[in-house]
Amino acid sequence: MRDPGSLRKMSSGNDKKIDDGDTGTGVVTKTKPKTKKPSMWRVLLLNDDYTPMEFVVFILQRFFAMDENSAAQIMLHVHQKGVGNCGVFPYEIAETKVTQVIEFARKNQHPLQCTMEKE
Ligand code: TYC
């Protein structure tokens, strides 16, 4: 006898149910999801000897939505260790932030460098 209810219980999510007749059993095949979650990218700030500390704190507040304390903490970390994490974003957002930071630094004649790496 047909029992569509049991077919429903056999599968989930991405399963395709193929009714193979009237036996009440089904063949379940897996299909790959057609969308992938975007890979995430870490935006990094690099230390240099010339960019003023206050400018770096301002950058972190303006482009990474940090409060002044978090921004100062990250800035000091970069100052001491040479590199620091500003946040992790989907590729295009990370790329935009890197561009904005570098452009803003250049406009203010600071050599600040910002880059990104796959998480
Ligand atoms: N090292 C800089 C100074 O002493 C400060 C600085 C911090 C520069 C972080 C860049 O990403 C940076 N003025």
pLDDT digits (tens, 9 = 90+) for 100-114: 999 999 999 999 999
Output the pTM of the full model: 0.74
Which among 111, 92, 91 has a CA at the least distance from the CA of 102? 111
- Predicted local distance difference test score (pLDDT) of residue 15: 45
71: its two tokens = 């921004």
pLDDT above 70 covers a percentage of the chain that reads: 78
Ligand 1 touching residue 85 (CB < 6 A): no
Which among 73, 75, 71 has a CA at the least distance from the CA of 45? 75
38: confidence class by pLDDT, cuts 50, 70, 90: confident
Among 6-20, 71-85, 95-109, which is the least confidently predicted range? 6-20
Ligand 1 touching residue 45 (CB < 6 A): yes
For a mutational test of ligand 1's pocket, the pick from 43, 45, 53, 85, i.e. the residue with the most ligand atoms closer than 8 A to its C-beta, is 53
